[in-house]
Amino acid sequence: MTVTADVCVLGVGLIGGSLLRALGPDRTFGWNRSPAGAEAATAAGFDVTTDLPTTLRRAAEADALVVVGVPLPALESVLGAVAEHAPTVALTDVISVKGPVLEAVRRHGLGARFVGGHPMAGTAHSGWDAGDPDLFRGATWLVAADDDADPDTWGRVARLALDSGARVVSATSADHDAAVARISHLGHVLAEALALAGGRGGDLALSLAAGSFRDGTRVAGTAPDLVRAICEPNRDALLDVLDECLADLGAARASLAERGTLGPLVDDGHRARRAYEDAQADRTGGDLRPAEVTPGAAGWLEALREAGAAGRAVRLADRL
């Protein structure tokens, strides 16, 4: 039996293309700016065109959940098209920074049925060919809990994430951006710096490079324009954590120069890594019981934020 397509994906690169694959062609249709990407998706059995107005009108007629999967620099033009051709659709996104997206959505008058999203999954590759139906399996998907979040849309976005194999965690857009500056965006900056330091060592250094260099520089393999699109829109939060990191490195350098020791950085960093490992073990081992929530119930947004602050996933009441 054919299921009515209920998800429209705008942009079928790594994340959007993986989402199409995870949900399957019966549930999805979409648009892509690049004809090559649209043709590749079509050849793989998915309904993807380069006609954005027609795709949006179809989404409006079907009341499909529209997922914006374009890079942030392309967001304004896509939202303009949504406002013109499908202004009442349920809307979400998979862009890596939430505050600027939320501001742009509100500027275009699309906030009534918008709930931001961010799957914490990806690779250093891009484009349709980089997609993977299992990309989100076991990953965390942030579904935003901002003050004006529409409960129906929130539930649809959460179900989308769960159907893709992810676990749902919720927080405000501002809290999300502060957090990802620490655990994602700073990592990109440090990976570039580490890769640059290794490269300055010439052929000998690169020939001796092993696991720590490989792992520490993995995301430096990401296309530079994509790194800029990921990190730079989160400027304020990233500046704060860069200042912290530079202070830690400066203190370690001073300690090494004056006393021959890296000081507390190594011990503190080791403890922080162990805390991360414990948190991951709690998540996968089931020690952190998911919070049960009914979107729209009394206090539901506060419950989502409290659960997210504690690192707890969310389980929808109708999926118990």
pLDDT in tens, 259-293: 999 999 999 999 999 999 988 887 765 556 889 99
Which region among 115-119, 156-160, 316-320 has the lowest average model confidence (pLDDT)? 316-320
pLDDT band at 122 (very low <50, low <70, confident <90, very high): confident
Whether the per-residue pLDDT at 297 is higher than 80: the answer is yes
Whether the per-residue pLDDT at 125 is higher than 80: the answer is no
| Best mean pLDDT range from 3-17, 188-202, 302-316 | 188-202
Which of 107, 35, 47, 122 is closest to 76 using CA atoms?
Answer: 107
132 sits in the region (left: phi over 0; alpha: psi -120 to 50; else beta) called beta
- b/e burial code for range 159-185 (CB count within 10 A of at least 16 → b): bbbbbbbbbbbbbbbebbbbbbbeebb
- All residues at 6 or more sequence positions from 119 whose CB lies less than 8 Å from its CB, including other chains: 15, 94, 135, 136, 139, 140, 141, 142, 161, 164, 166
Q: What is the pLDDT of residue 124?
A: 67
Predicted model pTM: 0.89
Residue 283 CA from chain centroid, whole number: 18
Whether the per-residue pLDDT at 319 is higher than 80: the answer is no
Tell me the three state secondary structure of residue 34: coil
pLDDT band at 3 (very low <50, low <70, confident <90, very high): very low
**Mean pLDDT, to the nearest integer, of 118-135?**
87
Q: What is the pLDDT of residue 120?
A: 93
% of the chain at pLDDT higher than 90: 85
Residue 251 has, within 13 A of its CA and on its CB side, a CA count of 10
Q: What is the pLDDT of residue 214?
A: 97
pLDDT band at 127 (very low <50, low <70, confident <90, very high): confident
Residue 123 main-chain phi, psi, to 5 deg: -140, 180
Q: What is the pLDDT of residue 2?
A: 38
- All residues at 6 or more sequence positions from 293 whose CB lies less than 8 Å from its CB, including other chains: 300, 303, 304, 307, 314, 315, 316, 317
Q: What is the pLDDT of residue 284?
A: 64
Q: What is the pLDDT of residue 229?
A: 87
